Amino acid sequence: MTIPATVSPNQVLRSTLRWGAAAALALLAHGWAQAADIKLYPTGPSEDSSFVRFVSATQDPVEVIAAGSDAKVQLAASAPATGFFPIKANADIKGQFTRAGTNLAILLKIKPGEFASVVALADGKGLSQIVLREEPDDFNALKSSVALYNADKACANASLQVAGRQVFLVEAVAPGAIKRRLINPVSVAVRLTCDGKPSGNELALGQLQAGERYSVFAVPAADGTRIFMANDAVVR
């Protein structure tokens, strides 16, 4: 099973993910909040809702498998992130990542109003994971919101520099941390720096849209740290 392109959270944040993908992740979180057309960023989530997405930082296909079920979602290098799945706050999320026959258990709880990104990382021949948590409160209908998620412990003071300019969108993000900034909705490309030194290739973010939110993940790579982008999205 593969995941279609993620849906950016424009206006009511409608998702076009197929029910099969949604059902797989629903089984991971008992007490799934069956919410439709969630006005997430303008109004904030309800008190009893939390949100989780699953991200692959590997170059190989990774599957997310629900505990006690054959339901699964595949993450690929071309589509490394699911959308955000609404779940009941403080519910157990159980399952596993699988990559080339190697399994890694998933077990976490998420606080009310919290958005958690569970990132699978290549660890030698196996897998490791990091959970990055955020509580959004910065919606602006006239601006675009860009976050840098630093999932690479080797990248100190991670920053996003506008390509070809001495201008930074986000600066000094510690490993395991997130920083977010509101910017004008423009077309922009960025480059990652770790401790002031460029790492990896430039990444075109494309034409950013007003009122929408984006995440750039910094993850380990064979030659340093690389970045990729995911639109924040809510799965119905």
Q: What is the pLDDT of residues 63-90, one digit of tens each?
A: 998 787 767 899 998 999 999 988 888 8
- Position 48 scores a pLDDT of 65
pLDDT tens-place string over residues 174-186? 999 999 999 999 9
Mean pLDDT of 192-208: 95
- Number of domains into which the chain is organized: 2
- Domain of residue 173: give its range: 144-231
Backbone angles phi, psi at 22, to 5 degrees: -65, -40
- Position 8 scores a pLDDT of 37
pLDDT tens-place string over residues 1-12? 333 333 333 332
Mean pLDDT of 196-207: 94
- Chosen domain end from 103, 134, 165: 134
Mean pLDDT of 9-31: 38
Residues 127 and 150 in one domain: no
Token pair, residue 26, equals 């629903």
Residues 25 and 128 in one domain: yes
Mean pLDDT of 86-96: 87
Mean pLDDT of 5-22: 34
- Chosen domain end from 100, 134, 168: 134
Say yes or no to pLDDT of 26 above 90: no
Residues 63 and 107 in one domain: yes
Residues 109 and 38 in one domain: yes
Nearest one of 59, 104, 8 to 226, comparing CA atoms: 59
- Inside any domain, residue 9: no
Residues 172 and 123 in one domain: no
Distance CA 178, CA 143 (A): 19
pLDDT tens-place string over residues 104-144? 999 999 999 899 999 999 887 789 999 999 998 878 899 99
- Inside any domain, residue 12: no
- Inside any domain, residue 85: yes
What CATH number does the domain containing 210 carry?
2.60.40.2890
- Position 19 scores a pLDDT of 32
Residues 148 and 61 in one domain: no
Provide the mean pLDDT of the chain: 81
Find the angle CA(118)-CA(63)-CA(174) to the nearest 5 degrees. 25
Residues 130 and 25 in one domain: yes
- Position 137 scores a pLDDT of 81
Distance CA 43, CA 221 (A): 37
- Position 88 scores a pLDDT of 84
Residues 153 and 123 in one domain: no
Mean pLDDT of 203-209: 95
